Structure 1
Amino acid sequence: MQNRLGLGLVRQPRTVLFGPGQRRQLPQIAASYGRRCLLVTDARMASTPEFQEIAAQLEAAGFVVFLYDGALPDLPRANVMEAAAAQADRGIDVIVGIGGGSSMDLAKSVSAVLSHGGDVRDYFGEFQVPGPTLPVITVPTTGGTGAEVTSLAIVFDEERGAKMAIADVRIEPVAAIIDPELTLSCPRGLTAATAADALSHLVEAFTARPKNPTPEQLATQIYVGKNRITDLFCAEGLRLMNGALARVVANPADLEARSDVMFAAYCAGMAINTTGTAAAHAIQSPIAAIGHVAHGFGVGALLPYVMRLNLPYATAEFAAIGRLLEVAGPDQPELEQARAGIERIERLLELVGAPLELRALGVTEDHVAQIASASVKATRLVLNNPAPLTEATVAALLVRGIAGDRSWWTAP
């Protein structure tokens, strides 16, 4: 768990604009890329006054605006292909993804398919997009996924029954406009689930394995380990979450608290764009097919058990989290600091109403072997985890999670 190279690396959009009301800068930013604009969103967002204002401002600025408002949760492959086919002959110059993670990932996926044809499956994997793509601008409406700044698009392949990823710097958004006002109308349940997702991103990125990559690995792999710069983003994100989550829960109209949570989610996105996520996300993917629980609640429910699994391998990192979250002092033994950090993360998850045991996700002992087998196939994520992951380890962890066993076990 040492960054022996002293490496610092993040990948990021060319422009990131953050702040209340900043969505109104979209026409000026989009104008650099052309005048034929495709807006990608979901049906709920498309019906809101805020979305209609955005579309009207683009039209008033001289854009020809096309709309696809069929983005679906967990982004099915068929959704990508339908959206791309509908735009094939329109001469799109720029794509704007407005909404949650699925809408923004749909925008990135459609960009690849419109630019190079074929099936979105052709681009699953790392660096499989053969050339430049249509520019994508992201406008998130939730504080959680971090998709506004990542080089990833997560697509559910119905035939494989698994989530797949386009992982390529060529689909990195050219700009992200992060306006916390857009989260004010976010339903309470979605606010909670996305906050749990962002919190899991911050923890997994901060405790991810440093990989000390070679120049060749830096050029060919998206996830190249935690490093000095990702740690800075994680530290700021954790600090903001620690102070803002309770305020958002108490008063969803608190714009300052919404802004802090959204900035924390941005920090998390910046970190996982280089570190990747780890065990909680690898295990959640097959669980999603069982209980159909919101992604954020899935990873949130797994996080207490994943943190315990990783504690012996990332004690210093969890101790640092304890100090960042102001529940541990430097004079305490390192293990006490680390446990305090883990308990505070669990308390933050409880504050937003996230379940902390796996039965709440519909997982039973009958599912353990199936989930464990599928989890370890997510090699891209497994290799990021500080503790080694095997089918046996994951199965034992799942049994702990089903029982809600949050004692300080040293092995699952």
Structure 2
Amino acid sequence: MRQDYGVTRAPSQLLFGAGQRRALGRVAAALGRSVLLCTDKRIAELPLLAEIIADLKAFDLNVAVFDATQPELPLHGIEACVAAYADFKPDVVIGLGGGSCLDLAKLVSLLLSHLGPLSDYYGEYKVPGPIRPVIAVPTTSGTGSEVTPVAVLADPDRAMKVGISSPYLIPHTAICDPELTLSCPPGLTAISGADALAHAIEAFAAVARKAEPDLAMTRVFVGKNGLSDHYALQAIKLIFDYLEHAVSQGDDLDARSAVMLASTYAGLAFGSAGTAAAHAIQYPVGARTHTAHGLGVGVLLPHTMDFNLRAAAADYADIARAIDVASSTDTDAHAAKTAIEAVRSLFGRIGIPSNLRAIGVEEADLPAMADLAMNAARLVENNPAPLNPAAIRSILERAL
């Protein structure tokens, strides 16, 4: 673990625990009088939404609801929400749902606070100032978006998804209530958990940069650091201890709580350290196959770890010892290999495919995917082993 430098970026408040969603009205009332709640059709049909609206109105808040959030967050959906509620002028924007709902809340708040187009802000540190306060209430355990400075969207003018990264996008308050994940189906629980594990492992094994005083002021994702290491390792241990049980026994609140806490820890880890190859390569894989982000990342993670083995052996060895698949007497090289095999084994047990063919990738797709993955520069630069198109092609061939 790295001890000589640390960065944590986090919400002003993080409320965690069963039933904490009932604090939402009081939290929102402390921030303004009008609230725009962003969610999706599935949640809009649940009694949960009526419960939350009643809580907000009990604090005399004026509430508007946008329930048309789409998976993978297309640009036109963001623009439609902004157009519909610009005149409403919300003081607070709430995201309720999975990662797309939380990212929608962040980006709607951005466009309500600053002039568009949204493409002006693609990349790092492009947001010019604070946005209207966002309250993030996740209903899945995977993206960590409730605590991160990044939002990802699909722009039809781009070949793959793009990100906006700025500390201004971190929600003001995150309310993490594991009761909201009890109805999450096994398949979604598995791929969300795989995404959280990838966040934690890639943050823990990210490039360690020289700790210049301006590092965190010029890079949203600074690479491996002591504070992110702490969050990442805690997330990894929780996922190995509880994810399989949360997938198979979805009504177990203890397991759900542990996995949600792991997802939040992983978000705190990669919110400063960043992610790497598995996430960079998933962007073109997802664009080609139209598969869920967490699924693609889960398929790719063991293969990217294989590629990074020499460069990240010490970090992977620390992971192996933390999850008790290696001992202090094992060499780092041996322990690192056991960590990779532990990831493969866990993913196999929860139904994550072991290869890209299983999600629709074909050999003819690989050259274009390798080139496109290089466009995710902030992730490519964060990988512990150097990446170029040939290296990414070798990972894709192994994963195929």
Pick the TM interval, shorter chain: over 0.9
- Which of 151, 176, 179 pairs up with 2:177? 179
Q: Secondary structure at the match of 1:311?
A: coil
1-structure distance, mates of 2:213, 2:118 = 29
Other-structure match for 2:339 = 341
Tell me the CA shift for residue 58 of structure 1: 0.6
Structure 1 portions without partners, runs of 5+: 403-412
1:275-320: CA deviation from partner (whole Å, max 9, x where unpaired): 1110000001001111111111101101111001001001011111
1-structure distance, mates of 2:17, 2:4 = 32
User: Contact 2:161–2:287 (CA<8 Å) still a contact in 1?
Assistant: no
1:93-134: CA deviation from partner (whole Å, max 9, x where unpaired): 000000011000000000010011222112111111112210
User: Contact 1:212–1:225 (CA<8 Å) still a contact in 2?
Assistant: no
1-structure distance, mates of 2:8, 2:362 = 39
2-structure distance, mates of 1:86, 1:212 = 46
User: Contact 1:245–1:351 (CA<8 Å) still a contact in 2?
Assistant: no
Other-structure match for 2:162 = 164
User: Contact 1:149–1:176 (CA<8 Å) still a contact in 2?
Assistant: yes
Poorly superposed stretches of 4+, deviation over 3 Å:
none
Q: Secondary structure at the match of 1:75?
A: coil
Other-structure match for 2:77 = 79
Q: Could you tell me which amino acid in structure 2 is paired with residue 361 of structure 1?
A: I
Is residue 2:204 matched to residue 1:229? no
2-structure distance, mates of 1:160, 1:238 = 33
Other-structure match for 1:69 = 67
Other-structure match for 1:271 = 269
Q: Secondary structure at the match of 1:71?
A: coil
1-structure distance, mates of 2:392, 2:89 = 48
Q: Could you tell me which amino acid in structure 2 is paired with residue 299 of structure 1?
A: V
Tell me the CA shift for residue 217 of structure 1: 2.8
Tell me the CA shift for residue 34 of structure 1: 0.6
User: Contact 2:102–2:145 (CA<8 Å) still a contact in 1?
Assistant: yes
Is residue 2:130 matched to residue 1:132? yes
Q: Secondary structure at the match of 1:313?
A: coil
1-structure distance, mates of 2:96, 2:280 = 26
User: Contact 2:7–2:216 (CA<8 Å) still a contact in 1?
Assistant: no
User: Contact 2:25–2:58 (CA<8 Å) still a contact in 1?
Assistant: no
Other-structure match for 2:112 = 114
Tell me the CA shift for residue 213 of structure 1: 3.8
User: Contact 1:197–1:299 (CA<8 Å) still a contact in 2?
Assistant: yes
Q: Could you tell me which amino acid in structure 2 is paired with residue 75 of structure 1?
A: L
Q: Could you tell me which amino acid in structure 1 is paired with residue 234 of structure 2?
A: E
Tell me the CA shift for residue 161 of structure 1: 2.3
Point out the more displaced range, 212-221 or 359-368: 212-221
- Which of 191, 194, 202 pairs up with 2:192? 194
Tell me the CA shift for residue 353 of structure 1: 0.9
Q: Secondary structure at the match of 2:171?
A: coil
1-structure distance, mates of 2:301, 2:345 = 12
Tell me the CA shift for residue 170 of structure 1: 1.1
TM-score between both structures, scaled by the size of structure 1: 0.95
2-structure distance, mates of 1:234, 1:132 = 27
Q: Could you tell me which amino acid in structure 2 is paired with residue 194 of structure 1?
A: S
User: Contact 1:81–1:119 (CA<8 Å) still a contact in 2?
Assistant: no
1-structure distance, mates of 2:67, 2:186 = 22
Point out the more displaced range, 345-354 or 145-154: 345-354
1-structure distance, mates of 2:385, 2:320 = 20
- Which of 239, 242, 255 pairs up with 1:241? 239
Other-structure match for 2:301 = 303
Structure 2 portions without partners, runs of 5+: none
2-structure distance, mates of 1:22, 1:243 = 24
1:376-403: CA deviation from partner (whole Å, max 9, x where unpaired): 121110011001111111111111111x
1-structure distance, mates of 2:364, 2:304 = 20
1-structure distance, mates of 2:288, 2:161 = 13
Q: Secondary structure at the match of 2:161?
A: strand
Alignment of 1:6-17 (within 5 A): 6-17=4-15
Other-structure match for 2:284 = 286
1:50-77: CA deviation from partner (whole Å, max 9, x where unpaired): 1221111111221110000111111111
Q: Secondary structure at the match of 2:279?
A: helix
1:325-358: CA deviation from partner (whole Å, max 9, x where unpaired): 1111111122111111111111121222111111
Q: Could you tell me which amino acid in structure 2 is paired with residue 374 of structure 1?
A: L
Q: Could you tell me which amino acid in structure 1 is paired with residue 205 of structure 2?
A: T
2-structure distance, mates of 1:175, 1:212 = 31
- Which of 352, 356, 363 pairs up with 1:365? 363
User: Contact 1:7–1:212 (CA<8 Å) still a contact in 2?
Assistant: no
Q: Secondary structure at the match of 2:30?
A: helix
2-structure distance, mates of 1:171, 1:339 = 37
Fraction of identical pairs, as percent = 46
Tell me the CA shift for residue 248 of structure 1: 1.0
User: Contact 1:195–1:352 (CA<8 Å) still a contact in 2?
Assistant: no
2-structure distance, mates of 1:94, 1:401 = 43
Alignment size in residue pairs: 400
Other-structure match for 2:380 = 382
Other-structure match for 2:43 = 45
Other-structure match for 2:204 = 206
